[in-house]
Amino acid sequence: MRRLATVAALTALLAGCSPDTSALDAQKPVQQKVTLEVALIGPIEFFDMLVQWGHNNVETQEERTPAPNWVKDLTLTWPDDKYVYVTASAQKKPSVDDRLAFVNGQPSVECRLRINGQVVETDTSAAPQCDFNLSATPPPGPSASAG
């Protein structure tokens, strides 16, 4: 009887020593190239952009840019980085009179978010927001064409 108990205990111990690697494989880090893009559309000569962006591991970053286009490239690693976003709005340049700035209307803003080169989110409005939840299976990259 004692031998049976010893064999049972040894079997249980050995079973616990061999981890299930399929669960570990599902959590392997996956790097993804993220591109955040923002552009002014419409009458842009009197406007800058106020861009806010970030991801779950960084506080919201804010940049005021005079350019009509703004691009930020990031490399994020899932599962540490799970969520990424960008939002923006047109801002009248401080040195421009209101009557002059808005004579042709206010520009719209377009945001675009790419994961590994593939557009996964776009939005156009006065203050658009593009965001994406990263996962272990990123969108496929752009297909290469021979030409």
pLDDT exceeds 60 at position 134: yes
User: What is the structure's pLDDT at 27?
Assistant: 74
E strands present in 25-127: 30-41, 47-55, 58-65, 69-78, 83-92, 108-115, 118-125
pLDDT tens digits, 6-16: 444 444 444 55
Distance CA 132, CA 118 (A): 12
User: What is the structure's pLDDT at 131?
Assistant: 97
**Whether the Cβ atoms of residue 123 and residue 133 lie closer than 8 Å to each other:** no
Helices of type H across 26-144 = 98-101
pLDDT tens digits, 71-119: 999 999 999 999 999 999 999 999 999 888 888 888 999 999 999 999 9
Distance CA 134, CA 6 (A): 48
pLDDT exceeds 70 at position 25: no
